[in-house]
Amino acid sequence: MLSLQGTGFLLAALCDQLGLCLPPEARRTLLDQAPPDAESFVAAVFAAEGLVRPRSHHDLYRDALALAEQAFANHSRSDT
């Protein structure tokens, strides 16, 4: 699971790089209760944005998942 700081950085990257900018309440929810893995994290972001994944937004989902996987991998390396 990402730290609070890692979750904030990932949310900022998703917003800045992909335009997935969550409303404040959804952002707070993810900061308080971050999903445990990259796929769940992206699913929560897509749900908060009201997007159906991945069929209708395949490229966006793929790019978001790549960012999340990188963030989770970096976090795992920093824990060891």
Specify the number of domains making up the chain: 1
Task: Classify residue 59 as left (phi > 0), alpha (psi -120 to 50) or beta.
Answer: alpha
Which domain range does residue 28 map to?
A: 4-79
The candidate with the shortest Cα–Cα distance to 37, out of 4, 69, 13, is: 69
| pLDDT for position 54 | 65
Query: Cα–Cα distance between 61 and 45 in angstroms, integer?
Result: 10
Does the predicted TM-score (pTM) go above 0.75?
Answer: yes
pLDDT in tens, 14-68: 999 999 999 999 999 999 999 999 999 999 999 999 987 667 789 999 999 999 9
